[in-house]
Structure 1
Amino acid sequence: MPHVRILAGVASALIATSACADASRKAPVEDGYHIPYVVGSGGEKRDVMNVPGSVTVLSRKFMDDIQATSVQDALRYAPGVQVMGR
């Protein structure tokens, strides 16, 4: 009879461990914005890391998140840009 109790204890520990492992396997949280490239004034695509100077990118996802309905709404979040009116 003691073997049955030990076996039951080990089995319940294994079940609890596998349940915890399944709970910890969640999809990665996407909490930022990833920009693979930027489009220059001439229309050419460039890697963000290879653009000379500083670049502020306002992605479509970012504009959707802030619910921008105009260029002024979007540019309010660009550093060094002042938007007048409206």
Structure 2
Amino acid sequence: MRHRDFRSKFERRRRYFACSRRIGYRVKAEERSLINRAKARGKNRTDFVLDATLIAAEEALLDQAIIAASPDAFAAFLARLDMPTEPNER
């Protein structure tokens, strides 16, 4: 029975690691301390760093996005930017 328990735990771990990849990096003690102080409650360091990394990666890719528009669509876009703003009801 004990052998089966080991096998089932091993299978779960194998399936988990089959869908994930490890990324290693080195940080200075001061940087690690800063990360530890900044991490959100309820998140471990790995989850905090991964979330921050994914946000930074998405922002970097969005900064490089190219938006194509026809000359007419671009002219209409510029015209809307030049229109006076209307006040909000606040």
Q: When the two structures are superposed, what TM-score results if normalisation uses the length of structure 2? A: 0.30
The structure in which a higher percent of residues are helix is: 2
User: Which of the two has higher C-alpha Rg?
Assistant: 1
Q: When the two structures are superposed, what TM-score results if normalisation uses the length of structure 1? A: 0.31
Structure with more contact order per residue of length (Cα contacts < 8 Å, sep ≥ 6): 1
The structure in which a higher percent of residues are strand is: 1
